[in-house]
Amino acid sequence: MRATTPLPPHVASELRPGAPPMVADFEREMLVALSTRPKCISPKYFYDAAGSRLFDRICDLPEYYPTRTEVGLLARHAREMTALFGPGADLVEFGAGSVTKVRLLLDAWEHPGRFIPVDISAEHLADASAQLCRDYPGLQVMPLAADFTRPLALPPQTRRIGFFPGSSIGNLGPIAAVRFLRQTLQSVLGGGLLIGVDLVKQPARLHAAYNDSAGVTAAFNRNLLVRANLELGAGFDVDAFDHYAFYEPVQQRVEMHLVSRRAQTVCVAGRAFEFAEGESLHTENSYKYTIDGFRQLARRAGFMPGAVWADDERLFSVHWLAAPA
């Protein structure tokens, strides 16, 4: 997805002064998205409270295999994984969401250190962290509401372990993925990163995972427009956009789009933007990897790929990336 593009002046001047930072970011990036061709916006804007709840529902869908496959791997191999953490290290989770998967690690980790869940959805993170504190009274939990693709202000610590499940690395293109891993390497030096990576597989299986029969993924995708109407007063006719997701085998990624069924005008920060009939807003890429392909990417970022755990069907993988001091 596009890095934050500097704003054309006629857009910069339109920004609503005093808007909360997250809304200001959303407004700025939506204005850029609507001002360029093809129109595309970061998938991070899926995750308002409603979007986070919709994603939780996606994780339980029969077609969406990544979550249950990864949870199976974490449950089966948590002892081996946490043995690599060592005692008393801080555990930083990127994109922690509902903070469910980490419980499998906490239950197996002999001497856990502090837990720092990071997520862009502040409200969702606060609720999930409070519940974790109740369930793990001896654990020090320090939630951080932030965009994990940007450098994080982490509490000082000699040994940190990163935890990045769910194949959220897949939202970043290859170059941005290496950049993110390089940035993360700096914050886990002397420790390492435990990361979930969705694997290349039959296109039909991928297609089904992003086009579930219950329509939850479509609602999750459209929720970005609902959010733009709520927070930016955009006036999207949400029902006049089709959810369109497909696997693109050359770049080995699933793409999600919202395609306008008719010509329509939306208005953000007082400016009108046209959508032609059939024009799309590209909302997400989800890159898939082979195990060797991902290890090469991790090496390029400076990590030392170690143990890998994958299910028998090789649908999903979890990698330990050591970060020598």
How far apart are CB 297 and ligand AVJ at their closest, in Å? 16
Stretch that binds ligand AVJ, among 1-9, 147-155, 162-170, 313-321 (CB under 6 A): 162-170
- Measured from the CB atom, the residue of 42 and 217 that comes closer to ligand AVJ is 217
Exactly one of 69, 167, 184, 260 binds ligand AVJ (CB under 6 A); which one? Answer: 167
51 neighbors 220 (Cβ within 8 angstroms) = yes
- Provide the minimum distance between the beta carbon of 261 and ligand AVJ in the complex, in angstroms, as a whole number: 21
Q: Which of residues 271-290 bind ligand AVJ (CB under 6 A)?
A: 284, 286
For ligand AVJ, the closer CB: 260 or 286: 286
Q: Contact between 58 and ligand AVJ (CB under 6 A)? A: yes
- Answer for which of 69, 157, 171, 184 binds ligand AVJ (CB under 6 A) is 171
Looking at residue 286, what DSSP letter applies? E
Q: Bridge partners of 271?
A: 268
What is the number of the residue whose Cβ is closest to ligand AVJ? 286
Examine residue 156 and say whether the peptide bond preceding it is cis (omega within 30 degrees of 0).
no
Count, residues near ligand AVJ per rule CB under 6 A? 11
| Region class of 138: left (phi > 0), else alpha (psi between -120 and 50), else beta | alpha
Q: Tell me which stretch binds ligand AVJ (CB under 6 A): 30-38, 101-109, 167-175, 272-280.
A: 167-175
Judged by beta carbon, residue 90 or residue 284, the one nearer ligand AVJ is 284
168 binds ligand AVJ (CB under 6 A): yes
Shortest distance (Å) from residue 170 CB to ligand AVJ: 5
Gap between the Cα atoms of 142 and 156, Å rounded: 12
DSSP percent split of the chain into helix, strand, coil, nearest 5? 40, 25, 35
Stretch that binds ligand AVJ, among 101-109, 137-145, 168-176, 264-272 (CB under 6 A): 168-176
Nearer to ligand AVJ, 143 or 170 (CB): 170
- Least separation, in Å, of the C-beta of 147 and ligand AVJ? 14
Residues within window 211-270 making contact with ligand AVJ, judged by CB under 6 A:
217
| By CB under 6 A, residue 170 contacts ligand AVJ | yes
Work out whether 143 is an interface residue with ligand AVJ (CB under 6 A). Answer: no
- What's the rounded Cα separation, in Å, for the pair 278 and 258? 9
In angstroms, give the least distance from the CB of 6 to ligand AVJ.
26
Distance CA 205, CA 220 (A): 19
| Residues 159, 86 contacting (CB under 8 angstroms) | yes
Is 308 within 8 Å of 196 (Cβ atoms)? no
The 10 Å CB-count burial string (b at 16+, else e) for 208-244 is bbbbbeeebbbbbbbbbbbbbeebbebebeeebbebb
Indicate whether 149 belongs to the interface with ligand AVJ (CB under 6 A): no
How many CB atoms within 10 Å of residue 255?
18
Q: Residue from 166, 177, 184, 247 that binds ligand AVJ (CB under 6 A)?
A: 166
Other beta carbons within 10 angstroms of residue 33's beta carbon come to 22
What type of residue is 105? L
Omega before residue 38 within 30° of 0, cis: yes
CA distance 33 to 246: 21
Q: Rounded to 5 degrees, what are φ and ψ at 139?
A: -95, 130
CA–CA distance, 312 with 68 (Å, rounded to integer): 13
What minimum distance in Å lies between the beta carbon of 221 and ligand AVJ? 7
Q: Interface with ligand AVJ by CB under 6 A: which residues? A: 58, 66, 166-168, 170-171, 210, 217, 284, 286
